[in-house]
Amino acid sequence: MGRYPSFTPLAAPLLTIWSLIGHAAMPWLRRHTRKRLQQGRENRTRLPERFARAGMPRPSHDGPLLWVHAASVGESRCILPVVSQLLADSPKLTILMTTATLTGGETVAAHPASHTGRLIHQLIPYDAPHLLERFMAYWQPIGLVLTESELWPGLLCLSRQKKLPVMLLNARLSPRSAARWRWASPLLRHLLEACHWIMPRSMDDAQAFARFGIGPLLPPADLKEDSPPLPFDASEAVTLRRQLGERSIFVAASTHPGEEEIIIAAARQAKKERPDLLTVIIPRHPERGKELAQTHQAPCRSKGQVPGGGDDVWIIDTLGEVGLFFQLAERVFIGNSLVPPGGGHNPLESLHFRRPTAIGPYMQNWTALCARHAGSLHPVEHQEALARWLKARHLPSPRPPQQNQAGRQAIRLIKDTILTKKAF
């Protein structure tokens, strides 16, 4: 597969319309950005990046610059092994990696190549063509690699106009997204026609794309199944284990609003039979941590608080410590799966640590993966089922997931297509 989309008659009016919307939306975008800053979801020093004002100079050497975009933490973690290998194989290559969130940016900043200048992070600008035009003119990428479902009209239409090679890896189209797009299937087809190469995450996703008439597609491969285990500080794990004593640690990871109350109620039911149980809540969005701590009268990690003997809940609102608490955990629940609409998060992250893992009924973004690992995941439909699972004292350790070849396939694809357009 490998197509080179032309700038079709539909493309010009769509880009013009989106440009007008983008200009008209600027006052709202500024207010929206200020609100996000007040909520702790933006960094004041990096606000110019949202409006395509670069936060650092472009590399001065003659090597090519590849643009890779990942929405947030999970997407960044799944593409970073690919980034690492591309940098190792191509000594003159620089990779510009954009994310939509600060937490995704911190994941990129922790990568060793960020300290050598070969991996640059910027927050992605808003999807207004005049901002993206400025961004592309400054960074001059030779190609763009997108992940999952980052289908932004301005970005894709402008890339198509500029004949910028675009690749979509781990492409997914959930049932909910497919239902939303059904009313505008010509628009979805048009946007995806800007992608020269599309690698679906699973066969289910490939079939969903095919139902919209999108193709040809590359063989499905899931980069998240190829991701390494989450890192953790081994010395901190020893320190915390000493502080917590022999308590049994239950981790509810990546929770969303509406779930914490159910999880804590279930854990308190189980605690009647398991008085040593400590429930660790890790909200998907850390800025919710202080509110959760206040609501549930629980110690908060960002304040340096450690639970005492009378505490049965601990709120973890720090960044980059999920792996640490999976290492300490006796068992794990994967959030965004207990209340609708949900969708779930990656259960492989806890399975890498061989921790018994429960999931709720709303894991529709991970249907194929959950089916492949059904023997290692315990479904819980509601509070009572979760409480019963927490009461069980002896649960078998799941087998660690086996890595697949998705990363190698993606690396080979990028090297054989985008990177061969330029001599290094």
pLDDT at 182: 87
Of the candidates 374, 337, 364, the one whose C-alpha atom is nearest the C-alpha of residue 202 is 364
Instruction: List, for residues 48-96, the tens digit of each pLDDT value.
Output: 999 999 989 999 878 999 999 999 998 999 999 999 999 999 999 999 9
Higher pLDDT, 179 or 381: 381
Q: Does residue 5 have a pLDDT over 70?
A: no
Instruction: List, for residues 197-240, the tens digit of each pLDDT value.
Output: 999 999 999 999 999 888 889 999 999 888 889 999 999 999 99
Q: Does residue 131 have a pLDDT over 60?
A: yes
Which residues participate in catalysis according to the annotation?
75
Q: Does residue 9 have a pLDDT over 70?
A: no
Report, as an integer, the average pLDDT of 231-260. 97
pLDDT at 190: 86
DSSP state for residue 417 in the 8-state scheme: T
> Model confidence at 406, in pLDDT bands (50, 70, 90)?
confident
CB atoms within 10 A of CB 242: 8
pTM: predicted TM-score of the whole model, two decimal places = 0.85
CB-CB contact of 146 with 166 (8 Å): yes
> Model confidence at 281, in pLDDT bands (50, 70, 90)?
very high
Single-letter residue type at 99: T
CB-CB contact of 391 with 274 (8 Å): yes
> Model confidence at 422, in pLDDT bands (50, 70, 90)?
very low
pLDDT at 288: 95
pLDDT at 11: 60
- Distance (Å, rounded) from C-alpha 315 to C-alpha 318? 9
Q: Which domains does the chain have, with CATH numbers?
A: 11-222+405-421 (3.40.50.11720), 234-391 (3.40.50.2000)
Q: Does residue 256 have a pLDDT over 60?
A: yes
Higher pLDDT, 67 or 10: 67
Cα 135–Cα 141–Cα 144 angle in degrees, nearest 5? 95
Instruction: List, for residues 137-191, the tens digit of each pLDDT value.
Output: 999 999 999 999 988 999 999 999 999 999 999 999 888 888 888 888 888 888 8
Across the chain, mean pLDDT equals 92
pLDDT at 6: 54
Higher pLDDT, 319 or 265: 265
